[in-house]
Structure 1
């Protein structure tokens, strides 16, 4: 950016994976943030590992977080579907980043997915616009554009009409955001790919899926592919976009790579040094099995790693067009992202020494976005 505007940024979803890394990027750039959260106790836990502490080269822990960053972080308790709470959170903010979403293919959570993702977008974007914020960054998903009419997706690709609940909820939220853009509001849309990286506060679906592969729970994969990126690169994109915008259809893709599922497993083999025997089957042939797994998950108290949504993504995902905007952020190598994710999972006890393979070891220090 040619000029830096220090802002008060209201953030929803700031204790989630994308949100926490983005808030850390904002704070490192000197901005102040106001977080709308349902559980204030989760703020320090989500942000402390991502921010430099008082000691040179150290990391802030929960005990020192408030002392170190208290003046820069304000917390409002509430839910994104609560208009009154959202109004308090965006009042007086220079900018708003709406990252709150329920990201899961778990069939047991379909109601909360629909309510939070679609209704939350309506409430937050409407309140941010009424409050005069600029920019208003809506964190969508590249999945909101699937299935796409062509072989690639780009900024003008129409909203998708997916037959999967999570993706359909993101498509509905995308339609809300584009409606504001058509009316000239300063809404900027970003499309993160599937994301990996260290420090996932809630161990979301994508990180859990990588863990399950290394635990030997997913020996069968659908053919096809998926867009994959590093959460820190998407956070860097959001930091780049934090400047007054004005209005119009601004849309940017989260930096990442398109990987075939075969290549995804190959990267895991390269990073861990493990054989990881895997059977690949046509994605569409696996969709009925995914539906059966979803039905079983509704009554089964244990997590079933096979999910219809994950198979559906592999069946319909396409590449991002070459030259599509990523805000000038260059994506990290996939092996770096996967390696640091595996090391983090090993460090927090989610993977054994054997499961992490040669990827186990010390985490690379948090790198500024």
Structure 2
């Protein structure tokens, strides 16, 4: 089976490519920058020669059509995931317009299996207090989350029209081998570096990128699965809901470090986040106090226990956190003191 993957040099995309290759699939990437392919895939045991590469962007109709030519399945994982106000112009262009173009092109090309990678954040705020496969699309007051909600509406429209589109909802993801040190892994690093002394009360869903990648491989490669004809065509990446106190406590347990923090109501921190966002637009270095990160802690809700997960359960939280911190340390992104008990190295094979 030949699978086209968009966003294959990103965190979710690269791990999903590795999972597909391990299961024997042939993979074709649509990549804006082919020079990033080796760096994203080689640490996961996938040599760049093992995948085909079409150079192009998900907003380029001709390049998308070229990437989809002759494929059996599509994983649309291309997305801008950031609460950084400097990246706002990219959000709608990639997350919404790119989704419309890729799904439309895949349907027109007669692709039999299409998986759109959404986000559980697209369902927030959740009026029912938890999210399910039947949850309505959210109306979040934050740019990244709003762009994912708009993309979700696009994907659901294709489902309603009978297209073979499945939707996955990853939680916030941690894990090793993050090609661009994405938002969640960067936040974990900043906490261990002492750059986040204040946290909002509330919580967020957290999972391991390797579990979500396995879900994508199952949906694309296992025969007989129903896609897009009912809520069974919507799947949740394995994860768990943690309060911010539980999250910091778990990080402290894994690293053996005491991580003091001041917990404040989100209402008290949101104005600070807005002010930081304005400053960030002109300040060249990233400021780790983001409005979106505070907002999601206020808006997030647990995922119902009986949602479809492709038969997968989340791996132990301590394993996910420990593997991520070890990777940050061995990659020179944390000192031995900052990594604490996780400073002891392990082989790459042991943490895949």
Give TM-score, length-normalised by structure 1.
Answer: 0.92
Compute the RMSD of aligned alpha carbons. 1.3
Q: Equivalent residue of 2:75, what SS?
A: strand
- Map 1:307-346 onto structure 2 (within 5 A): 307-346=290-329
Contact 1:12–1:100 (CA<8 Å) still a contact in 2? Answer: yes
C-alpha change, 1:112 and 1:306, in structure 2 (3 Å) is same
Aligned to 1:8: 2
Deviation at 1:135, TM superposition (A): 1.1
Aligned to 1:140: 118
Deviation at 1:368, TM superposition (A): 9.1
**Residue in structure 2 matching 1:304, options 283, 287, 297:** 287
Aligned to 2:241: 258
Q: Equivalent residue of 1:258, what SS?
A: strand
Aligned to 2:202: 224
Aligned to 2:13: 19
C-alpha change, 1:201 and 1:9, in structure 2 (3 Å) is same
Q: Distance in 2 between matches of 1:248 and 1:271?
A: 42
Deviation at 1:187, TM superposition (A): 0.2
Aligned to 2:229: 248
**Residue in structure 1 matching 2:58, options 80, 83, 86:** 80
Contact 1:340–1:364 (CA<8 Å) still a contact in 2? Answer: no
Deviation at 1:91, TM superposition (A): 1.1
Q: Distance in 1 between matches of 2:6 and 2:77?
A: 5
Q: Distance in 1 between matches of 2:227 and 2:271?
A: 47
C-alpha change, 1:344 and 1:29, in structure 2 (3 Å) is same
Q: Equivalent residue of 1:114, what SS?
A: helix
Aligned to 2:69: 91
5+ unaligned residues in a row in structure 1: which ranges?
1-6, 52-59
Q: Equivalent residue of 2:34, what SS?
A: coil
Give TM-score, length-normalised by structure 2.
Answer: 0.96
Aligned to 1:110: 88
- Map 1:56-205 onto structure 2 (within 5 A): 65-66=47-48, 70=49, 72-205=50-183
Q: Distance in 1 between matches of 2:292 and 2:185?
A: 15
- Map 1:275-294 onto structure 2 (within 5 A): 275-294=258-277
Deviation at 1:151, TM superposition (A): 1.1
Deviation at 1:251, TM superposition (A): 0.1
Aligned to 1:353: 336
5+ unaligned residues in a row in structure 2: which ranges?
none
Cα deviations across residues 53-84 of structure 1 (Å, max 9, x unaligned)?
xxxxxxx6xxxx34xxx2x4100000000010
Q: Equivalent residue of 2:90, what SS?
A: helix
Contact 1:8–1:34 (CA<8 Å) still a contact in 2? Answer: yes
Q: Distance in 1 between matches of 2:67 and 2:127?
A: 38
Cα deviations across residues 302-326 of structure 1 (Å, max 9, x unaligned)?
1100000000000010000011111
Q: Distance in 2 between matches of 1:363 and 1:145?
A: 37
